Amino acid sequence: MNQKPQTTFKISALAGAMVALVTPMNAEGEIDWLEYQKLLDWHINIKTPAVIIAGTTGESALLSTAETEQLWSIAAQRCANTETLMVAGTGAISPRQVMANNKQAAACGADLVLVVTPYYLRLTQSALRDHFWDIADTSPLPVLLYNVPTRTGNDLQTKTTQALAKHPNILGIKEAKADMERITALAKIDGFVVLSGDDESFCRAMQHGAAGVISVAANVRPRTLKQICHALALGDINKACQLDQSLQPLYQLLAQEPNPGPIKAVMHAAKMLSSGIRPPLQLMSLSRTQQKQFTQAIEQEFTQP
């Protein structure tokens, strides 16, 4: 049996609807720290299981080191002694940079790190395995692998992930590829947590053994996503599927343009955020029909006690 490391949290806490949090910005593209703290407090108050800070949705590639560390520190301070874990996005092309990021995330107070496969460089499965193994060897925090081949050009294949799951400091994976055969195989690994990274297919992924989802849609509909996860945990597949179906138009909207342009546009329309996003990213233009279609339910979730 895999002997996983002692953590400050129960491994079972890595379940349910977690949020890949946006980084709020003003019209000039500067971080809006008050909006950021407000979003954090909202997720903590509604007991979102985890917030992922400075990931893809958080515009990590466009943040300075100082900004990233401040985002991590504020989130860690706010999440301390709550039911919400703070997950730091620390991925980079260079393993040396990832190792440095992991140490800094630990110093900032993160609970664990999310490490995406290297991007741009095309790597063999052997190279990917060595990359993650070396990172896990040196990380002061437990590691979640992150596979999103449509963005990175590298696909962490099932056999490679199975080999990496043997490392005592690798807790699980965020698998963004909607491959149910892969999800099923990985979910069978003892002591290894599988999280979907694809909103549109996460309900199916959980029926194939995934413990939860790291979600973009959870920025605006976390309560509904939590209800889906709860229904699945109780075996109420019909209810879960009905709720999931109600969110499909939102999922499809969020996939129309590159993330986080659509989710930030929706949040701005719902008065949750200012309109800022960093170039070369662009905010998606929403029609009046789209604004009406999505904002009422979002505003209800955001303002509900």
pTM, full prediction: 0.95
- Fold observed for domain 14-303: TIM Barrel (3.20.20)
- Give the pLDDT of residue 249: 95
CA dihedral 154, 91, 191, 9 (to 10 degrees): -160
- The reply, when asked if residue 295 is annotated as ligand binding, is no
Averaged pLDDT, groups of 10, the chain, 305 residues long: 59 93 97 98 98 98 98 98 98 98 98 97 98 98 98 98 98 98 98 98 98 98 98 98 97 97 96 95 95 87 77
Instruction: State both tokens at 3.
Output: 């002997």
Residues annotated as catalytic are: 146, 174
Q: Check: CB of residue 194 under 8 Å from CB of residue 172.
A: yes
- Give the pLDDT of residue 1: 39
- The reply, when asked if residue 124 is annotated as ligand binding, is no
CA dihedral 125, 134, 69, 37 (to 10 degrees): 60
Residue extents of the structural domains in the chain: 14-303
- Give the pLDDT of residue 3: 53
